[in-house]
Structure 1
Amino acid sequence: MKTRMVVVAALASISGLAHAQSSVTLYGLIDIGVLYANNTGGHSVWQMSSGNINGSRWGLRGTEDLGGGLGALFVIESGYSLNTGRLGQGGDLFGRQAYVGFTSQSVGSFTLGRHYDSLTDYPGPFEAANQWSPYFGAHPGDLDNVNGTNRINNSIKFKSISFGGLTFGGLYSLGGVAGQTGRNQIWSAGAAYNRGPFAFGVGYLNVRNPNFSLYGNNASSSTTAINVTNRIFSGYASANTQEVIAAGGSYTFGGATVGAMYTNTAFRNVGSQAGVATPAANVGGTARFHNAELNFKYQFTPSWLVGAAYDYTKGYGINDVKYQQGVLGTVYLLSKRTDVYADVIYQHASGTDSTGASAVANLNGLTPSTTPNQVLGIVGMRHRF
């Protein structure tokens, strides 16, 4: 009898140890608001909007200690629209993130699956739309993907630990097209430094056949037609390659933080993708965009933040357009898990856009205006669990 009790106690001890060395966490975020836009397709609109500052989501993350400073990890994360209950990311169940891999306490993590690219990881945090501004205030059309609108399928990713404030990483996505090794390939790399009041990040992204590999990688995407819906660069969706270089930084003094970001985006060899409609004037050329953002935020109290940002976008090459955009917003924490926010965003467009027509304002995520101007106001709340 005593022997049996000892065996049971030993097994219970081992079971408890194994449980302590691994964990699975359910987490999520709910973001909902009411917005007004003065002109979407020629009409003003009041509507409810989900996932404004942060995408509404739920997910599971798990870790297991493998010993010797090594571990296994996974994340599966699903986006959804709170006001309709529909899945986000084009209907993908785990469209936000889905990956599994290994982690080392002395090196970093190595994972396989669906990821954010290095631009979102390293220079991305310095964009206002990745901090306090809703995604409507991201760079026009999120043309540089710094706001992380489009994830990367079939990808292998490395992220380092912090070495005295320095972190770095990279990503490679296999094209998966038989006999065409380079088709649909994506790769990115980046680094960031954060120590004391100063922080900065840099990154590079290279996308082959972006209409399909980057903008068409969801369940509802077309495998033959255009997948870009905004007028900012829909006329360049047939490009063979999209390249982005990005750098951002910030400096904090007291309750104030000043930030800046620059990106350069190129759509090369426009017209090379069969079946993707392209204005004749764009065929064979390269469209480029300068984008410069200056932002500021002030933490009046631990619970109350106010922010402002100005963004300037200039097209050149076969591109001749300008977008100027301003954002003013505030966030107030009701608790550690719940806050409320309010923002006003204005965009002005001039020149000729990617479609070959006179440019009209087209805030990220909205139907284009019928005039050079577009204004949006939004109030909402977030809750984390």
Structure 2
Amino acid sequence: MPRRSLGRPAGVVLATLAAAGGAAAQSSVTLYGALDAYVAVQSASGADSRKVLNSGFNPNALGFTGNEDLGGGLSAGFTLETQPVLDTGGTGQAGKMWGRQSLVYLGSGSYGRLSLGRIHTAGRTFGIKYSATGWLTTDPLGNLLIAAGSAMAPVMNLDGAGSRTSNAVLYSSPRLSGFSFSLMQSAGEGGSFAAGSAKLTQFGAGYTSGPLTADLVINRIPEVPGSQIEQTDLALGAQYSFTALKLVGAFFSRKGSSIAAPGATTPIPGSEGTDRVLILGVSVPMGVHTFGASVGRLTLADVHRGRRPANVAAPISTVPDDSTAWSLAYTYAFSKRTQAFVAYGALNNGELGSASLVGDLRPSAGGTSRLLASGLRHSF
């Protein structure tokens, strides 16, 4: 999203404060953000349909980031980022002031960057990158991963380990011959897994060469009695950009257990198994117009059918079964910063499943969840 430096009078105030610390000559602070709102019709078999106003193309953001040149190729900086919820005036991530990100870092172009704080995960980045129809509420990728209980799911307004993790240390390497990698470790302090305070180790690697991009993410969640249950997630994706379109494909697996009730921290004995998700999509840019289509399939281990996945709390905890989801999307760019969009998506459950495109309007077992949305997004 576009970013701009703070002007007067806010820029003067910040510059004055920086000067008091002796760093005004080498520091800069930037304000940035993105806001979107849509109107939609949601429906679920066995439940009434309804109209909503919400945020659903990409997550809303309002942030400040700063950087100081320390000399010798070394720099230090910070990011503070909150998430406005336009339809209510509140904030996401359970009302945390800086719930999207809050971190400091020390970096070098030759040696990479070390960040500490509440940080976006490589799994979140993967989930956004491989959503072929744009990171929309209707997109199959996030919805099928949430249904399976994967820690790769790009959860938007909610506070969970799929998108960001508290009490974390992250090392990000520089890109060398097209390759890069990252390694994150979180301490799991100050709260439960479901409250975004998971203890986990996550490794990400990527490769880019011309029109080809490939990514790998491995996520390891250890058992912490009373907080989280052992789980391993893997994501592997590739995309290729042709002259007229971009093809996207991704594979996910989750090895973990089931629980008896939302938020439970004890696994059902004998319920460990591996679930898999396959996603295929295409994006077609045509000047100011972009068309997208995506389809995905969730295949559960037999021991997981009709049982809730571990490490997922209300309101996104659901009873899953084998499921298929698909989405169509169209965006129109008024400018580089303003887009209008319309999207339609559906999620079809197997006979035991009640997964949905929205967490608080579930279909009956074996039913279908549908959503038609249209809205506006503006970045600054």
Q: TM-score, normalised by structure 2?
A: 0.79
Correspondence for 1:198 among 212, 233, 240? 212
Instruction: Tell me how far 1:63 sits from its aligned partner.
Output: 0.3
Query: What's the counterpart of residue 134 of structure 1?
Result: 136
Query: What's the counterpart of residue 177 of structure 2?
Result: 164
Relative to structure 1, the CA distance from residue 111 to residue 275 in structure 2 (aligned partners, 3 Å threshold; closer, same or farther) is: closer
- Root-mean-square deviation (Å): 2.8
Tell me if structure 1 keeps the 8 A contact 2:54–2:87.
yes
Query: What's the counterpart of residue 180 of structure 1?
Result: none
CA distance in 1, matches of 2:135, 2:337: 18
Relative to structure 1, the CA distance from residue 135 to residue 147 in structure 2 (aligned partners, 3 Å threshold; closer, same or farther) is: farther
Query: What's the counterpart of residue 127 of structure 2?
Result: 124
Instruction: Tell me how far 1:20 sits from its aligned partner.
Output: 5.1
**Equivalences for 1:71-150 in 2 at 5 Å?**
71-121=75-125, 123-128=126-131, 132-137=134-139, 138-140=142-144, 142=146, 143-149=149-155, 150=160
Tell me if structure 2 keeps the 8 A contact 1:330–1:342.
yes
Instruction: Tell me how far 1:275 sits from its aligned partner.
Output: 8.1
Tell me if structure 2 keeps the 8 A contact 1:323–1:350.
yes
Tell me if structure 1 keeps the 8 A contact 2:290–2:330.
yes
**Equivalences for 1:51-62 in 2 at 5 Å?**
52-62=56-66
User: Structure 2: which amino acid aligns with 1:246?
Assistant: A
CA distance in 2, matches of 1:171, 1:266: 20
CA distance in 2, matches of 1:272, 1:376: 29
Identity over aligned residues, as a percent? 26
Tell me if structure 2 keeps the 8 A contact 1:126–1:249.
no
Tell me if structure 2 keeps the 8 A contact 1:159–1:170.
yes
CA distance in 2, matches of 1:382, 1:82: 11
Instruction: Tell me how far 1:134 sits from its aligned partner.
Output: 0.5
Instruction: Tell me how far 1:41 sits from its aligned partner.
Output: 6.7
Instruction: Tell me how far 1:271 sits from its aligned partner.
Output: 5.3
Tell me if structure 2 keeps the 8 A contact 1:158–1:170.
yes
CA deviations 1:138-176 (Å, max 9, x no partner) are 232533243432321100001112112211101000134
CA distance in 1, matches of 2:363, 2:344: 16
Tell me if structure 2 keeps the 8 A contact 1:184–1:209.
no
Relative to structure 1, the CA distance from residue 25 to residue 210 in structure 2 (aligned partners, 3 Å threshold; closer, same or farther) is: farther
Relative to structure 1, the CA distance from residue 36 to residue 241 in structure 2 (aligned partners, 3 Å threshold; closer, same or farther) is: same
Instruction: Tell me how far 1:19 sits from its aligned partner.
Output: 4.0
CA distance in 2, matches of 1:210, 1:294: 35
Tell me if structure 1 keeps the 8 A contact 2:289–2:332.
yes
The total of aligned residue pairs comes to 328
Tell me if structure 1 keeps the 8 A contact 2:128–2:135.
no
Relative to structure 1, the CA distance from residue 102 to residue 120 in structure 2 (aligned partners, 3 Å threshold; closer, same or farther) is: same
Query: What's the counterpart of residue 350 of structure 1?
Result: 350
CA deviations 1:3-38 (Å, max 9, x no partner) are xxxxxxxxxxxx7x9645211011111010001012
Computing the radius of gyration from Cα coordinates, the structure with the larger value is: 1
Instruction: Tell me how far 1:116 sits from its aligned partner.
Output: 1.7
**Equivalences for 1:307-318 in 2 at 5 Å?**
307-318=292-303
CA distance in 2, matches of 1:305, 1:259: 15
User: Structure 1: which amino acid aligns with 2:137?
Assistant: Y
Instruction: Tell me how far 1:260 sits from its aligned partner.
Output: 0.2
CA distance in 1, matches of 2:123, 2:270: 27
Relative to structure 1, the CA distance from residue 68 to residue 266 in structure 2 (aligned partners, 3 Å threshold; closer, same or farther) is: same
User: Structure 2: which amino acid aligns with 1:288?
Assistant: T
CA deviations 1:265-319 (Å, max 9, x no partner) are 1224x4599982879xx43421431000001010111x11100000100110412
Tell me if structure 1 keeps the 8 A contact 2:45–2:367.
no
Relative to structure 1, the CA distance from residue 249 to residue 37 in structure 2 (aligned partners, 3 Å threshold; closer, same or farther) is: same
Query: What's the counterpart of residue 46 of structure 1?
Result: 51
Query: What's the counterpart of residue 368 of structure 1?
Result: 362
Query: What's the counterpart of residue 291 of structure 1?
Result: 277
Aligned with 1:139: secondary structure?
helix
Q: TM-score, normalised by structure 1?
A: 0.78
CA distance in 2, matches of 1:67, 1:350: 59
Relative to structure 1, the CA distance from residue 40 to residue 174 in structure 2 (aligned partners, 3 Å threshold; closer, same or farther) is: farther
